[in-house]
Amino acid sequence: MSLLLVGSSVFAQNKQETDILFVGNSFTYFWNMPQMLEAMAKSQGLNIKTTQSTVGGSTLEEHFNKKKNTQTIKLLDSVKYDYVVLQDHSLATIDNPKDFNKYSKKLSELIRKKGAKPVLYMTWGYHSNPLLQEKITPAYNNLAKELSSKVIPVGPIFMKGRQLRPDLNLYFDDKHPSPEASYLIALVFYKAFTGKSVMEIPDRLTTKAYDGEPLYLMFIPSETGNFLRQLVEGYEFTNLNSITE
C-alpha cells in the first residue's frame, strides 16, 4: 500500500477503499468531522471509510485501558483498518506528558500488531491561550520521530488560519472547533491522506442517512471555503515531519 501522509504519498493506490479509525474525543467528533472527510473524498471520486472510537474528554490512557466505555481495543481486535488516528486530550502534552507518550506508544504498538499504521493528530491551542501551541507542536513532532510515525499538523494550520483571518471564528467555545474549523480539519486530513489538491472540494458536503435520504453535513460560504482551501493547499506539510516512508 502506497500512501502520502505529511510529505510522502498517503492514498492507497492498490485498494479501492481506505479504512481509517479515529481514536479520540470531541476534538475529533465535533460537527461530524470524520464524516466530512468521507464526503470530501467521495466528491473527488475517492473512497475513504471512517470509524470513530470517541468519547468526550477522553484520553489515550482511557482508550487503552477500556475506561469511559471506550471501544478502541474491541474495534482493533475485531476490525481490520489501514490507519488509526490517535488524538489525545487537548492538554495532554501540557498537563500529563508522561501518559501522552506512554499510551501513544502502547496504542501504536498494538495498532502495528493489528496490521494498521498509527497516525498522530496534532491539536491546537485554546482561544484564550494560543501559546499552548508552542508546547503541543514539539511534543507531537518529537513523539512522531520516536515512533517512526506520521503526524497530521492540524494545530499549526488552525493557528495560522486564526492569525491570518482574526475575523473568522474558528472556535465554538474556548477550545472546541466551530463548524468552519471542523471543515478546515477535514481538509487537512484529506490533503494528508490523499496528497491531492483540496481546491475542488465543495462548500456543501452531503452524505446519506440510514433511509437513503440526503443528509447535509456542511454549508460554508464560498469566500470562507476558498480561504480555508487556500490555507491548506499552501501549507508545507513536510515542515513538521521529516520522516519518510
Cell numbers 475517492 correspond to what residue? 46
* pLDDT tens, residue by residue, 176-193: 999 999 999 999 999 999
pTM, 2 dp: 0.91
pLDDT over 80 at 243, yes or no = no
Q: Which residues are bridge partners to 84 per DSSP?
A: 21, 118
CA angle 147, 133, 173 (to 5 degrees): 120
Residue 204 has pLDDT above 80, yes or no: yes
Q: For position 2, what pLDDT does the model report?
A: 30
Exposed, middle or buried: residue 172 (CB in 10 Å: 0-12, 13-18, 19+)? Answer: middle
Closest C-alpha to 168, from 208, 220, 207? 220
The yes-or-no verdict on residue 195 having pLDDT over 60 is yes
pLDDT score, position 46:
96
Q: What angle do CA 20, 25, 30 make, to 5 degrees?
A: 85
pLDDT in tens, 141-176: 999 999 999 999 999 999 999 999 999 999 999 999
- What is the dihedral angle through the alpha carbons of 242, 114, 44, 189, rounded to the nearest 10 degrees? -40
- Mean pLDDT over residues 204-223, rounded? 93
Note the pLDDT of residue 236: 80
- Asked if residues 122 and 166 have their Cβ atoms less than 8 Å apart, the reply is no
Q: Distance between CA 67 and CA 129 in Å, rounded? A: 29
pLDDT digits (tens, 9 = 90+) for 15-57: 689 999 999 999 999 999 999 999 999 999 999 999 999 999 9
Q: Which residues pair with 208 in a beta bridge?
A: 214
